[in-house]
Structure 1
Amino acid sequence: MSKITRQGTNAILSTSVEYHNFVYLAGITADDLSKDIKGQTAEVLAKIDAALEANGTDKTRLLTATIWVKHIADRGAMNELWTPWLAPGAAPARACVEANMADPRHLVEIMVTACR
């Protein structure tokens, strides 16, 4: 049976799951909810970098991304950070949608899948 490796597991989720060299990250949000969309996006992208590194991969190996923004009007501002953060030529398949957040102060949540 193939090994499944989980990190940051609690009663409802794991922050990452690795299986057959695929790394699945849970939706990541900012900790400092006083920040605007750009500040929260920068924090989320830094947390994604750290989580990917902890799983032996990086953003050059992204396969998919799902992005939820509280206000779709913030998509452009979020993309101002997302686009330069991506490795050149390595953009993942992506969806970006407006959504109600569990905490109304969250402005963005990003979930990615990468390979090793």
Structure 2
Amino acid sequence: MSKITRQGTNQILSSSVEYHNFVFLAGMTADDLSKDVKGQTAEVLAKIDAALEANGTDKTRLLSAQIWLKDIRDRGAMNELWTAWLPAGMAPARACVEANMADPRHLVEIMVTACR
């Protein structure tokens, strides 16, 4: 049976799961909820970078991304940071939708899958 490696596991979720060199990150949100969507997006992207590094990979190896915005009208502002963060020609398959967040102060949540 193939090994599954989990990090940051609690009763509800794992912050990351690695299986057969695929790395699945949990949805990431900002810690500082006083920031606007750009500030929260920058914080989330930095957290994704750190989580990918902790799992032996990086954003050049992204396969897919799911992005949830509290207000879809913030898509342009979020995309400014997203496109600057992505390496040229390395965009993953992606969905971006409006969603009710668990905490109404969260403006963006991003979940990615990468390979090692």
If the length of structure 2 is used for normalisation, what is the TM-score?
1.00
- Report 1:80-95 matches (<5 A): 80-95=80-95
| Counterpart AA for 2:22 | F
Q: CA deviation at 1:31?
A: 0.2
SS of structure 2 residue aligned to 1:6: strand
Q: Residue 101 of structure 2 corresponds to which residue in structure 1? A: 101
Q: When the two structures are aligned, how many residues end up with a matched partner?
A: 116
Gaps of at least 5 residues in structure 1 are: none
Gaps of at least 5 residues in structure 2 are: none
Residues 49-93 of structure 1: CA deviation (Å, up to 9, x unaligned)? 000000000000000000000000000000000001001110000
SS of structure 2 residue aligned to 1:76: helix
If the length of structure 1 is used for normalisation, what is the TM-score?
1.00
Aligned mates of 1:33, 1:98 — CA distance in 2: 18
| Counterpart AA for 1:113 | T
* Runs of 4+ off more than 4 Å: none
Aligned mates of 1:33, 1:3 — CA distance in 2: 36
RMSD of aligned residue pairs (Cα, Å):
0.3
Q: Residue 12 of structure 2 corresponds to which residue in structure 1? A: 12
Aligned mates of 1:84, 1:34 — CA distance in 2: 23
- Report 1:1-116 matches (<5 A): 1-116=1-116
Identity of aligned residues (%): 88
